[in-house]
Amino acid sequence: MQISHGSLTVPGAKIYYKVRGAGPPLLILQGGAGDADTPDALATTLATRFTVITFDRRGLSRSPLSDPKQLVSIEQHAADALTLLDEITADAAYVFGSSLGSLVALELVLRESGRLQRVVAHDPPLFELLSVEEQRAFRELRSKVAEIALCQGTRPAMRHFLVAIGVDNDDREEDAEPPPSGRERARNSGFFLSRDSRAADQYRLDLAALMAVAPKVVPAFGRSSQACFPSRCAVALAKQLEQPPLEFPGGHTGYVLRPRAFAERLASVLAPAVPVEHCYS
């Protein structure tokens, strides 16, 4: 399958992106330390039905910051995503966001609801929607992760954090592989822990404004991680929007580790009139 690559200059950064497939545009916003390559298996599976767009968030992999010390925010990531959509297509887009990417997706629909058809927010880390006890437990987790990072380094800290939020690399389709470790992955993990995770913590969703576009928003959670923090946030968001949360295959990173089943579910949610088997090559 042919994949086109590009680079877009935005204020304060240069954004690397990938486009593949044919059909209505679908923007995939991955979470954590993931870059444009992380959802490759999912994107390839969906590319027979959608024009799939992925990109490296500013500060990750091939999207360098003009000033390495600049602050990053969910609002800025959403502005980058909108600029990229405008560069690639004039059509209304579908959006799938997971974890931190789901916060970007929600901010995007608040800014430009007319530009989007439907948004799936998978495991959104909206911890302010949880109970006081759950928020306290999450703060304790973050403190523990920071302690591990200081004493042992980024990789052990990231491993501890991922297990706590429902990432299980053994919960996968037979031929699916977790993202490879390496220098680039370690650098992205460091950027996520020190910069992007703070941006997620500081972000506050405008729930009142989101209610006005609620029919376009689909809160979703991972089947095998529903007891973990992000999935409970998805359930809490669905309650606020007065709609049922939808279950997706796998855990917090089911879109990476169970790409075929996840693509089937996602296609049926985004474009239910189209038989899901059309997503397969």
Mode of pairing for the β-strands spanning 3-10 and 93-98 = unpaired
The rounded distance, in Å, linking the Cα atoms of 246 and 115 is: 23
Helical ranges in 153-228 per DSSP H: 154-164, 183-191, 197-202, 207-211
Residue 281 clears pLDDT 90, i.e. is over it: no
Check residue 180 and give its pLDDT.
84
pLDDT tens digits for range 245-267: 999 999 999 999 999 999 999 99
Residue 5 clears pLDDT 60, i.e. is over it: yes
Domain residues of the chain, as ranges? 3-279
Q: Give me the chain's average pLDDT, please.
A: 94
Average pLDDT of the residues in 159-187: 91
The rounded distance, in Å, linking the Cα atoms of 144 and 13 is: 32
At the fourth CATH level, the homologous superfamily of domain 3-279 is Alpha/Beta hydrolase fold, catalytic domain (3.40.50.1820)
Amino acid at 197: S
Check residue 279 and give its pLDDT.
38
Q: How confident is the model at residue 275 (pLDDT cuts 50, 70, 90)?
A: very low
pTM of structure: 0.94
**Nearest 5°: phi and psi at 270?**
-75, -45
